Structure 1
Amino acid sequence: MTQQPVATSDKLDAAVFKVAGVVVLGAIMSILDVTVVSVALPTFQSEFGASYARVAWTMTGYTLALATVIPLSGWAADRFGTKRLYMTALALFTIGSGLCATADSIGELIGYRVVQGLGGGMLMPLGMTIMTRAAGPHRIGRLMAVLGIPMLLGPIGGPILGGWLIDTASWHWIFLINLPIGVVALAYAWLALPKDAPEPSESFDFLGMLMLSPGLALFLYGVSSLPEAGTVSDNDVWLPMLIGAVLVVSFVIYSFRTRHPLLDLRLFRNRNLSVAAFSLFVFIIAFMGAGLLFPSYFLQIRGEDTLTAGLLMAPQGIGAMLTMPVAGMLADRVPVGRTVPFALVLIAAGFFTFTQVDPHTSYWLLCGSLFVMGLGMGATMMPIMTSALKTLHAAEVARGSTLVNILQQIGGSIGGAVMSVILTSELNGSRPIPGVTDPTTGKPLTEAQLAIAGQQQPQLLERLPVPPQLLERGLDFAANSFATTFWVGFALVLVTFIPVAFLPRRREPSHLLDDAPGQQPPMPVAIH
C-alpha cells in the first residue's frame, strides 16, 4: 500500500482528525444501528407476530455476519486497499439498511440484517487500520479515545433515536435514516481518504477460512438458538454447536502448522494479550448479556414506550463519555492494572442495584446506577485493549486485536443466550392462566407473561376479564425474574476481577515502534 508518514508528535493533528471524521461517521452508522434495533425488538414482535426469541435473531444475524467477515478483513485490506474496501463496506451497509426497511416478514428482516452485518463488520476494523496509519501506533491510547466517540454516541443516541422514530413515524425509519448518512459518508470517504495501491503481502489462508468462519457461525448459531429451544438437547442447538466446535478445534490444530494462519493463536503466548482477552471475554458475557435486558425491563415491567426507555438508558452513555477520554490518555502513561480494577468496582456497584429491582424501583436510583456503570465502562474496555496492543510488535497488532474481537463476539452471543434462557425459564415458572393462550404460540399464558403483555398493550386486557390482583402478582413475579437474571450477570462481573488482577501493574515497554522507521502496522481490529 501507499506509504504514509507516521506522525511522531504526541498530539493528534488536523490531518488525523480529517481522516478520523470518515472513520467515526462510519462507526456511528454501524454502532447506532445495533442499539437502535435493541429497543425495536418488542415492536418487531407485535408487527410480525413473532416470539421474542425469534425477533432476537435480528440482532443475532448481524452478529453472525460480523464473526464471518472479521477474520477476512486484514487480508482483504492488503489485497484491495483500505479506501476501496472501506467504501465497499459503507455501500453494503447502506444497501442492507434500505433492504431492511422493505422487509415484509421477520425472516426477510433477519436476512437483510445479515447483509448489513457483512458491511458493518468491516467498518470498525478498516477504520482502525486507516486511523493507525494516519496517526502512528505510539498514540494508540489517544486513538482509542477518538474511536470511542461512536461507542459513546451509540448507547446514548441509539435507544433515544430508535424510540423517537418508532413512536413518531414507524419502525422502517430506524433503517431508512441510514440512507442519507451512508451517501454523505461515501462522498466524505472518497474526498478525505488517501488513495492506496494494494499490494498483497502474504497468501490468503483459504483452508483456514473454510474451517474458522463457518465454524464460528455454526457455533454461535447453536448458542443463539438456545433461548427459543429452551434446552441444549434440541437438535437446533447441540448439532450446529458440535459441528462448529469441531471446525474451530480443527482450525486450532491446523493454525500451529501453517506459516500464515487466518488467525494466529500463537500470540496467546503473550501474557498481556492472553490476560486482556480473557478479561474482556468474561466481562462481555456478563455485561453485554445482561445489558440487553436493561431496556427490556423498562419496556416490559414498567410499561414505558420506546422513546422513554431510550432516554432512561442515556445516563450509561453519559457516564462513559466522561471517563473514556481520560482513560485513553492514562492508558498511554499508567499501567492498566492500576486503573481497571477501580473501574470494575464502579461497574459492580451499579450492577448490584439491578439485582434488587421490583415493579416500582425508583428511576432516580436506576438511572444513577446506569451512570455509575457507564463511568466504569469508559475506563475498562479501551484501556485493556490498549494494554494488549502496546506489548505487540507492529506486525502482530492486526492478528492480536482480531483474536480479542472474535472472543468478544463469542462472549456477547453466549452472554445474550444465557441471560435470555435464564429470564425465559424464570418467567415460565409463573402459574398459567386457564383459558388464556398466547396468540403467537398457542400455549397457555402465565400470569407473568400476561402482566408483561398488559404493560405493553393495555388494550389486550380490555378483552380479558382478569382480576387486578392477578396482574399485580404476575408483574411482581416478572420483576423478580429480571432480578434473578441480573444476579447471574452480577456474579459474572465479580468473576472478572480474577483475570483483571493479573493485568500489568508496571509500565511495559512498547514494541510497536521496534520496526523499521516508516513501516505501517497492518490491520488492527477495534472493539465493536
Structure 2
Amino acid sequence: MSETPQATVGKVDSVPDSSRWKALVFIALAQLMVVLDATVVNIALPSAQQDLGMSDGNRQWVITAYALAFGGLLLFGGRVADLWGRKRAFLTGLFGFAAASALGGAAVNEAMMFAARALQGVFGALLAPAALSLLAVMFTDAKERAKAFGIYGAIAGGGGAVGLIVGGFLTEYLNWRWTLYVNIPFAVVAAAGAYFVVREPESGRNRSPLDIPGVILSILGLVTLVYGFTRAESDSWGDSVTIILFIASAVLLAAFVVTESKVKSPLLPLRVVTERNRGGAYLSLALAVIAMFGLFLFLTYYLQIVKGYSPLKTGFAFMPMAVGMMVGSTQIGTRLMTRIAPRLLIGPGFLVAAVGLLLLTQLEIGSSFVTLVAPAQLLLGLGLGTAFMPAMSLSTFGVEPRDAGVASAMVNTSQQVGGAIGTALLNSIAASATAVYIKDHVAATAKPAQRILQLEGMVHGYTRAIWFAVGILMLSTAIAFVFINTGRPETSSNPASDEGDEDDVVVPMIGH
C-alpha cells in the first residue's frame, strides 16, 4: 500500500466526476423523501385511522410495517447495491418507493395501507444505502467530502423536523392521503435527475456470490429485534412474547456473526464493523438516534396535548432544531472536518446536544416556548448536526469500494434500530413515571383539577424519560472520545490499509 495521503488500491482513474455536485442535489432530494416519510405520516395517523376504520390496536402497524421492512432489509439492500450497481439500486428504490406511496395514498382499507407501508420499507431499504454509498464513492477529496456529507447530514437530521411541518400542512389543509402522495414528485424528480447525472466507478462493485445464509439470518434477526422493541412499547417489557422475541433475535444475530466469520463472501464483512473508528461511529450514532427519537415523540405530544398546538403549528415549532441541524452540519461540521480530528467534532457535538436535552428536563405545563423549548431545540440541533456529519462520513470512510453499500447500510441500520429502541424504551419510561405520579397525587386532588393532574403527570413522565436520554447522549459522547482515534482526514494513514487490496479504486485516507 502507498504511504502517500491517498492509498491507491488499484488503478481506477482518480479524476473526480465533473457531474458529482449535480448528482448530490438528486441524491439529497431522495434522502429528504425517505427522512420526511419517517415523520410525515405520524401526524396524519389519527385522520387515516378514522377514514380506514383501523382499531387502536392495529393502527401501530402503519408505523411498524414500514420499520420492520426497512430495518430488516437494510443490510441486504446495501449488498444488492454493491452487487447490482448503486445507481441502478438507487433508481429502482426511487420508483418502487413512489409506487408504494401511490398505493398507500389510494388505500381503501387497513390491509392495503399496511401492505403499502411495508413496500415503502422494502424499497427504502434499497434506496437509503445506495444513496449514501454513491456519496462515498463519488466524493473522495477530503474537503469536497466534508461539504457533501455536511449537506447530506443536514438533510438526514433536519428532514424529520421538516416532515412534521409538511405533514401538519397537508393534513390540516388537504387530506392525510397527500402525506403519501407527496413522495411521488420527489421520487420522479430525483430519479430523472439521477439517471442523467449520476455516474459511479464501475470497478467499485462487489460481484462475489450472494451470501444466502447471511441474508436470511440478518433479515430474521433484525426484523425480530425491531419487532421486539415495538411490542415492548405496546405490550410491556415483561410480556412473554416480547421476551421470546428478544431471545430469538439474540440467537439469530449471533448465528449471523458466526456465519459471516466463516463464509467466503459474507453479506457483512466483519472488517467493516470491527475497525474501531467505524465501529465507534455506528455505535455513537445509534445511541444518539435513541435520544433524538425520544425528543420528537415527547415534544410532539407536549405541544399538541399540553399546549394545544394544531398539527401545523406543532410542525413549525420544530424549526429551531431543524435550523440548528443545518447550521451544525453545513457550517460548523463542514468547516472544521478537514482541520481537526473527527472525535473533536463528534464528542463535543453530542455533549452540546445533551445540554439541550438537559434544559428540557425543566419542562412544566406552563413552560415558555421562547425561553425554554426553542433554545433547547437549537442546542440539540447544533450538537447533533455537528456530530452526525463527521460520524456518517467516518462510517463509510476508508472502506474498500466493494464494501461501500454494506457500510452505508450499517449507518442506516444503526439509526433504524436506535429509533426502535428509543421509541420503545423512552415511551415505556415516560408512561411508567406518569402512572406513578398520578397514583401518588390523585387522592389529594379535587375532581375539577383532575385534568390538570393528568397533564402534570404526562409532563413529569416526559422529563423523567428525557433524563435517560441525557444519559444516553453522554454515553454516546464517551464512546466517540474512547473509540474514535483517527486523525485529520488528509494528514495520516488509512485505517483500511490492512483490510486487503483487491479493489482497483483510489480511496481517501483517514489515519491514526
Q: Establish whether TM, by shorter chain, passes 0.5.
A: yes
User: Match for 2:412 among 405, 413, 419?
Assistant: 405
CA deviations over 1:284-330 (Å, ceiling 9, x no partner): 22332343322122112212111010000111010111120230342
Deviates further, 111-120 or 149-158: 149-158
Cα-to-partner distance string for 1:402-452 (whole Å, 9 max, x where unaligned): 4343233222211111112222333444669xxxxxxxxxxxxx98xxxxx
Superposed CA offset, 1:196-222 (max 9, x none): 979762111011111111111112112
Instruction: Report the number of matched residues.
Output: 484
Counterpart-to-counterpart distance in 1, 2:88 and 2:407: 24
The one-letter code of the counterpart of 1:472 is I
| TM-score, reference length from structure 2 | 0.85
- Alignment of 1:386 with 2:390, yes or no, is no
> Does the Cα contact within 8 Å between 2:68 and 2:227 map onto a contact in 1?
yes
How far, CA to CA, are the matches of 1:468 and 1:187 in structure 2?
A: 60
Select which of 486, 494, 505 maps to 1:511: 494
1:486 aligned to 466, 474, 477, which one?
466
Q: Secondary structure at the match of 2:451?
A: helix
For the residues of structure 1 that align with 2:416 and 2:96, how far apart are their CA atoms? 21
Q: Which amino acid is the alignment partner of residue 475 of structure 1?
A: L
The match for 2:136 among 125, 129, 132 is 132
CA drift of 1:376 comes to: 0.5
Look up the match of 1:36: 40
1:424 equivalent in structure 2: 431
Aligned partner of 1:342 among 339, 348, 362: 348
1:96 offset after TM fit, Å? Answer: 1.0
Q: Distance in 2 between matches of 1:74 and 1:99?
A: 25
1:247-262 alignment runs, 5 A limit: 247-262=252-267
Q: Deviations over 1:485-527 (max 9, x none)?
A: 22221222222232122132744635389769962679xxxxx
1:209 equivalenced with 2:219 (yes/no): no
Alpha-carbon separation, structure 2, partners of 1:152 and 1:499: 20
Alignment RMSD (CA, Å): 3.1
Match in the other structure for 1:187: 192
Distance 1:474 1:280, change over 3 A: same
Instruction: Identify the range of structure 1 (494-503 vs 508-517) with the bigger mean alpha-carbon deviation.
Output: 508-517
| CA–CA separation in structure 2 for the residues paired with 1:117 and 1:173 | 18
User: Shift of the alpha carbon at 1:169?
Assistant: 1.4
Trace 1:95-134 onto structure 2 (pairs within 5 A): 95-134=99-138
Report how far residue 483 of structure 1 moved: 1.6
Distance in 2, Cα, partners of 1:133 & 1:498: 30
Query: Which residue number corresponds to residue 463 of structure 1?
Result: none
Deviation readout 1:186-245 (Å, 9 max, x if unpaired): 32233333499797621110111111111111121121111111233332x123332222
* Deviation readout 1:273-294 (Å, 9 max, x if unpaired): 2222222232222332343322
Task: State how far apart, in whole Å, the 2-side matches of 1:48 and 1:296 are.
Answer: 23
After superposition, the Cα gap between the structure-2 partners of 1:468 and 1:46, relative to the gap in structure 1 and judged at 3 Å, is farther
**Structure with more relative contact order (C-alpha pairs < 8 Å, separation 6 or more):** 2
Does the alignment pair 1:239 with 2:244? yes
Stretches of structure 1 that go unaligned for 5 or more consecutive residues are 433-445, 448-465, 523-528
1:105 Cα deviation (Å)?
4.0
Q: 3-state DSSP class of the match of 1:360?
A: coil
Measured at CA, do residues 128 and 68 of structure 1 come closer, stay the same or move farther in structure 2, by a change above 3 Å?
same
- 1:7 matched to 2:15? The reply is yes
Which among 68, 83, 89 is matched to residue 87 of structure 2? Answer: 83
* Counterpart mapping for 1:462-473 below 5 A: 468-473=448-453
Residue matched to 1:294 = 299
Q: Cα deviation per residue 1:346-392 (whole Å; 9 max; x = unaligned)?
A: 21111012212122110112012101111101111221233344454
Following the alignment from structure 2 to structure 1, what is the Cα–Cα distance between the partners of residues 107 and 507? Answer: 41
- Distance across 1 between alignment mates of 2:416 and 2:102: 25
Q: TM-score, normalised by structure 1?
A: 0.83
Cα distance in 2 for residues equivalent to 1:197 and 1:500: 34
CA spacing shift, 1:280–1:471, aligned 2, 3 Å: same
Distance in 1 separating the partners of 2:454 and 2:213: 53
Q: How many percent identity over aligned positions?
A: 25
Report the Cα distance in structure 2 between the residues aligned to 1:169 and 1:329, rounded to whole angstroms.
Answer: 41
Determine if the alignment matches structure 1 residue 21 to structure 2 residue 20.
no
Say whether 1:62 aligns with 2:62: no
Deviation of 1:22 (Å): 2.0
Q: Cα distance 1:394–1:75, how it changes in 2: closer, same or farther (>3 A)?
A: closer
